[in-house]
Structure 1
Amino acid sequence: MSRSRRLLIIAVLPATLLGALLGMILLLGPAESAEADCGPVSVVVDGNTRVNGYAEEQLKNAAAVMGAGKALNLSAKGQTITIMVALGESGLRVLDYGDGPGPDSRGLFQQRDNGAWGSYADRMDPTISATYFIKALQAVPDWEQLEPTIAGNKVQRNADPYHYQKYWAEAVKIVQALSDGKFSLEGSDCAIPGKSGAGDDYPWKDSPTWQQVGAGSAAAASPLGMFYRECVDFALWRVNQQMGSTSAPFKFLNGSFRPDGQGLGSAVTWKAGWDAKGWPTGKTPRIGAVVWYAPGIGGSDPTFGHVAVVKEVKDDGTYVEEGYNGNPPPDDHNYYTRTVSSSAPSAFLYLPNQEEKK
């Protein structure tokens, strides 16, 4: 790796520049409430409603579930989680039987006969059983910051916390089809932790790099407090996005990320930044996790390392990472994706409650 390439990963702003930038950020108005985009969904169902692959009975049950969610002021994201769990438990059918681990399980959510989910009639009623599930979901601490499948598992407590993950896309499709308006849970204030966005949605992809305007210029600094189009600025954008902060003033900044007052800094210090914040790390790739390369690992800069974000996890022991400034000139400071062995990075840095699969 050439010396010029090594310099590209540096993304720490001078203290004076950072202070000026943060001062400007504090003058901005508060971010728009997420409730504007993530509020309850109104259910619209009539005889002409069709969703490919689902029978009328299933759609009526989905509508009942969503109606229960709206009555409890559940967000669109919460309604989608609820539909996802019902798909994973019963295929959106009111089942009058259980399974081996739970022979007394019944209904859309396969709720047990243990007194926590009401009577047999309650468990067999789509609206009532959904109401029980939703109230339990809303009682889970910080459930909206969990991956959808983890949030559902906190209520259901089934053996595999990732059982529901494969039903998420279908749940989104159903909720959108039965809603009175289209919405997106990706790349917005409704963004869901664990999701990596839709490709190159970095807001400052056309902004000048510090090499173009000079390292001491405020024009080189993004609102996150790092240089535009560097690996760390893209990764910190993803962190903000996944935690529901998609406009200024952003929740997570270079200068205020760590509770000890130190800057998050260049890629080399990100693992230490995560440790200082008490956020989890591990060796298993999870969608949306930050990929951390220690200096010299995986072809990264021998002084500053590199960070990226997990976009997709494959079944063959590899994952797809996305990021910025991961290629040599002339394709530096641009978005890239590549498939990497899961053993290549030094660590994966998870968001709060983004649990590592065992």
Structure 2
Amino acid sequence: MKGGAGAAAGAVLAAVMVPVLVLVMMLGSGGKEGALAACAPAGTVTVSAPGGVVAGYADDQLANAAVVVKTGQQLNVPAEGLLVGVMTAMGESSLKNLNYGDDIHGVTNPDGSLTCSLGLFQQQWCLPGNPWGTKAEVTDPAKAAATFFKALMRLPGWEAMPPDVAGHRVQGNYSPAGYTKFIPAAREVLAAVTAGKITAGSGGCAAGGFAVGTTGSGDDYPWRGAEHNANNPVTSLAYRNCTDFAWWRLTQQLGLQPVSSSRLGPGNGKTWGNAWSRAGWTISKTPKVGAITWYTTGEYGHVAVVKEITADGKVIEEGYNFGIPPNGAYYTMTINPGAPAGYLYIPTREQFEKAAM
């Protein structure tokens, strides 16, 4: 039950940026990387920068940049790697999720088209033995970014390389010089994203954004393949723990990307009621679909989410890591509505953002 702490100008496609197969890529599955498959690309973006433009990029371009950065952060990519990712996407697609690219010299693809390089990173999906993924995967910004970062992290000595050289080594484009001019803009956009000036609104790991009182569809927790109890750098909690799942559900209902819980400091499940009181959010003894069920028993307490209220007034809760073997697993359970110490109602988005300032 613990809640561990853890840490523009959009030029058209640059034809010189044609990614080729990268031998350093050895894609794995499961763990923190495998969990990323549950995250979809962002659909909207909020920009607090003047004019809604950063380094000449705006709207969907900035939304895509936010997805690239957040995907890298979920994979624990350091800042210099995030810069390489943003810079490469700028050079390849001007931060646009393109459904077209360079043809492959007249070779007909499996879908009958001549276009092989697609998406933010212009990853070639159609060549035999391609390591980038399917057509659908290379045109999903989050999945394309994850594939790029996995390749980068497996490139020996990339940290000591200039950003343009590192991007060139991963992509296999004709020359590092094709990326060089994008480095200053990439630094500016990366700084804006990490400072919170660019925020992806719906989609992404928020699974499309649910209304308050509307929970997701079963076990849609995006890190269900992650190592149990390892620190989740996105939420500042611990993977596959009750608190991480409940915090995910909270942000999901608000239509937000998952964010750190550290500013509210909910900590272990037992302390969540105090966090709700400090924030001025409602605590009730009356169950409500979508509310957090809050327990204070035991060393750490426990939190879960009200999934359903039956016709006879029973509460069906869902959560993670209740202690029913195996630990760290998703569960649903019917409870007596008087069993929790209280029900923590989900705040409005305005209340949440005000408390998180």
| Shorter-normalised TM range | 0.3 to 0.5
Relative to the length of structure 2, the TM-score reads 0.42
Q: Higher strand fraction: Structure 1 or Structure 2?
A: 2
Query: Which structure's relative contact order is higher, taking Cα pairs within 8 Å and 6+ residues apart?
Result: 2
